[in-house]
Structure 1
Amino acid sequence: MIDLQTLPAPRVVEELSFEAILAAAKADFAERMRPHLPAIDDILALESDPVVKLLESHAYRELLFRARVNDAARAHLLAFATGTDLDHLAALFGVQRMPGETDERLRTRLQLRIAALGAQGTREHYEFHAMTASPQVRAAQASQPQPGCVLVMLWVTDQAQAQAVRQLVADALNADNARMLGVALSVAVAVPRPIAITARITRTRSAPANLMQQLADRLTAAFASMGTMATSVARSYITTVLHVEGVHAVDYPDAAAPQQLTPIAVGEYPALGAVQLIDAGVV
């Protein structure tokens, strides 16, 4: 599945600049008026002149119009569409937003649905139906442990409902519109792979007083936003989360918390383990 964030900026979306629009408006107006008013360039150099104010008003309104065109263009692109615009894109492929479903999750399901249309039995086919069966399925991973067998592993948001969700997914995948004939299908629930973090934080002099709490909250949010059952989690990712304004340096006194590359086995999903943030003082 394509990571939409890695795509280059779309050409249809124009980079906007009020100053550039105003300069173009002044140049066009000056060219039209110069034969009739040779001093027009001097007049346009006066910011308080009524003509200048009129051109500024025109440039601002044109900026708003171009911004609206940009918004309309983004609404038709999967990487940028949100809310009801995204709902309409999804409807083209027979996908509806589930109750309480976020844009990001719907965008993921839509990508899976599009990929699954190529041929039934694809990995995306199983993952789409698994995520559609219950909003409790944060992510799904289909694999073929042996020929003729498919294993669908579920990352369930609420472990207390794991078995109920597993049954919902199994029923959905065995329904007539999803089941592949001649394929042995099994559904299992992944277990968390806690990643312990012991980080030493060196602060800058301008760091906020509650920096350590902010960093703890960022780690919690980062793991909560993970939506794929990755094969590993890199320590460099943890560093990126922690290295914000107010942080001079981040280092790890315990080489195993986290490891340089924490492997995530089949049947596991990354989860935040014990966190210890050590205040190393000000640089």
Structure 2
Amino acid sequence: MSRFTPVDLSQYPISDVIEALDFESYLARDRATFTTRWEARRLVNPSLPAVDTLLLEPDPSSVVLEVGSLRETLLRGRINDRIRALTLAGAPGRALDHIGITYYRTPRRVITPATDTATAVMEDDETYRQRLALAPESWSTAGPVGAYLFWALSASGDVLDVAAYSEDEGVTLAPRIRVVILPRDGLTDPEKAALVVTVKQALSRDRLRPMGDLVTVEFATDLSFDVTAHLRIRQGASADIVKAEAEKRILQYCSGRLRWIGDDIEGPVWLIGRRMRQATIAAAALGTDANVVEVEIPDPATDVNAPHAGYTEAALAGVGEFDFEPLAPEITAHLFVAPRLGTVTVTHEIVAESWS
């Protein structure tokens, strides 16, 4: 009963190719080597000063060793970065373009068409990266769910999110496929109508999909919701900074973007059919900030776009049987809804708990 999702690149380990960078260990190694070689020199020339005076912080010898260790750290870091840039999960910018074209035959999308006065806006790295991870699904044409998602997303940069439903979700009878799209904000009604036509053409039977599939394309229903969170913050912490970071985490979760690689890097949008759990919103506000003691959500039992009570495993048990009938529209309605965040209000109080 869950949406198809491609491989989660956040689970792909991009380890340091050489080793974890450690400036202090390089410096300690170089100082030990310097000490050994210097003492060998002193055996030949006892008039040379003792090494303990040469390795004091202000001494030029110590500075030279630090410079050498720093250069080694930077060099190892550059090598790590260059090797990471050869992976789908770690490649940025032009390196990602190279992987996309040469290995997946998939160029970046143009998000906003170029005009005489404007420059085209290209698909961002993280959305492009995840679409490339989805690209192998397209090699079976529009048959598997992932193939429908890939080709619908690739039809236009104005497609923000896509879901494809069949008999498996209880919404249709085979061979009907319902493709649901969420357009980017700011499109006019004529542009939205044209977008539906574009996606339909991209999924046409003479180009991609199996002849037996009856495909319809429709828009998701927007569901606006607001978030209010109350933070209890430790005494001594900067309330403004803590609140700003909590709001940032809430926005990241509720915008439908998943975090893929590194801190503060967002992935593709996933909103259609998504259930926004109040407990998860509270957890997002809490994050890993030790300054936040507790997060309160006014109505924690009311999730946004929660499934109908009748949408259960038992209700779907007959999928594929000859006498199976699609579930009532109200039972599967949540699959066609896209929760859209409205306002975020974060309040706070300072509690007596402190680090002292």
Question: Under TM normalisation by the shorter chain, which class is it?
Answer: 0.7 to 0.9
Q: Does 1:114 align with 2:133?
A: no
Counterpart in the other structure of 2:176: 149
Counterpart in the other structure of 2:341: 272
What's the offset of the Cα at 1:280?
5.4
Counterpart in the other structure of 2:215: 185
* Aligned pair partner of 2:97 in 87, 103, 115: 87
What's the offset of the Cα at 1:230?
5.1
SS of 1:142's equivalent in the other structure is strand
How far apart, CA to CA, are the structure 1 residues paired with 2:75 and 2:136?
33
Structure 2 counterparts to residues 1-283 of structure 1, below 5 A = 1-12=6-17, 14-37=19-42, 41-43=51-53, 45-92=55-102, 93-99=104-110, 100=121, 101-117=123-139, 121-145=143-167, 146-158=173-185, 160=188, 161-174=191-204, 176-205=206-235, 206-209=237-240, 219-226=250-257, 227-228=269-270, 229=272, 231-243=274-286, 247-258=292-303, 262-263=306-307, 265-273=334-342, 277=346, 279=347, 281-283=349-351
SS of 1:242's equivalent in the other structure is helix
The 10-residue stretch of structure 1 (211-220 or 176-185) with the greater mean CA deviation from structure 2:
211-220
The 10-residue stretch of structure 1 (85-94 or 140-149) with the greater mean CA deviation from structure 2:
140-149
Structure 1 pair 59/222, CA: closer, same or farther in 2 (3 Å)? same
The 10-residue stretch of structure 1 (207-216 or 69-78) with the greater mean CA deviation from structure 2:
207-216
What's the offset of the Cα at 1:193?
3.1
The 10-residue stretch of structure 1 (110-119 or 84-93) with the greater mean CA deviation from structure 2:
110-119
| Counterpart code for 1:281 | E
| TM-score between both structures, scaled by the size of structure 1 | 0.84
How far apart, CA to CA, are the structure 2 residues paired with 1:258 and 1:167?
34
How far apart, CA to CA, are the structure 2 residues paired with 1:157 and 1:90?
23
| Counterpart code for 1:178 | L
What's the offset of the Cα at 1:276?
5.2
| Counterpart code for 1:24 | R
What's the offset of the Cα at 1:166?
1.5
Structure 1 pair 137/120, CA: closer, same or farther in 2 (3 Å)? closer
| Counterpart code for 2:295 | V
| Counterpart code for 1:250 | V
Deviations 1:6-43 (A, max 9, x none): 23342526311111111122223333443333676525
Deviations 1:41-61 (A, max 9, x none): 525532233322222111111
Counterpart in the other structure of 2:46: none
| TM-score between both structures, scaled by the size of structure 2 | 0.69
Structure 1 pair 214/54, CA: closer, same or farther in 2 (3 Å)? closer
How far apart, CA to CA, are the structure 1 residues paired with 2:135 and 2:85?
19
How far apart, CA to CA, are the structure 2 residues paired with 1:129 and 1:238?
32
The 10-residue stretch of structure 1 (145-154 or 221-230) with the greater mean CA deviation from structure 2:
221-230
Q: Kindly indicate whether structure 1 or structure 2 has the higher relative contact order, using CA contacts under 8 Å at least 6 residues apart.
A: 2
How far apart, CA to CA, are the structure 2 residues paired with 1:178 and 1:49?
71
Identity of aligned residues (%): 28
How far apart, CA to CA, are the structure 2 residues paired with 1:25 and 1:118?
56
SS of 1:52's equivalent in the other structure is helix
What's the offset of the Cα at 1:96?
0.8
Structure 1 pair 120/218, CA: closer, same or farther in 2 (3 Å)? closer
Counterpart in the other structure of 2:324: none
Contact 1:30-1:40 within 8 A present in 2 as well: no
The 10-residue stretch of structure 1 (61-70 or 4-13) with the greater mean CA deviation from structure 2:
4-13
Structure 1 pair 35/219, CA: closer, same or farther in 2 (3 Å)? closer
How far apart, CA to CA, are the structure 2 residues paired with 1:223 and 1:86?
27
| Counterpart code for 2:193 | Q
Gaps of 5+ in 1: none
How far apart, CA to CA, are the structure 2 residues paired with 1:47 and 1:63?
20
Structure 1 pair 233/224, CA: closer, same or farther in 2 (3 Å)? closer
Structure 1 pair 12/179, CA: closer, same or farther in 2 (3 Å)? same
Structure 1 pair 40/269, CA: closer, same or farther in 2 (3 Å)? farther
Structure 1 pair 198/46, CA: closer, same or farther in 2 (3 Å)? closer
What's the offset of the Cα at 1:4?
1.2
How far apart, CA to CA, are the structure 2 residues paired with 1:214 and 1:63?
31
SS of 1:151's equivalent in the other structure is strand
Task: Note the aligned Cα RMSD (angstroms).
Answer: 3.0
| Counterpart code for 1:207 | S
Structure 1 pair 61/281, CA: closer, same or farther in 2 (3 Å)? closer
| Counterpart code for 1:7 | Y
Aligned length: 281
Deviations 1:44-84 (A, max 9, x none): 53223332222211111111111110110121122222211
How far apart, CA to CA, are the structure 1 residues paired with 2:55 and 2:241?
49
| Counterpart code for 1:76 | L
What's the offset of the Cα at 1:131?
0.8
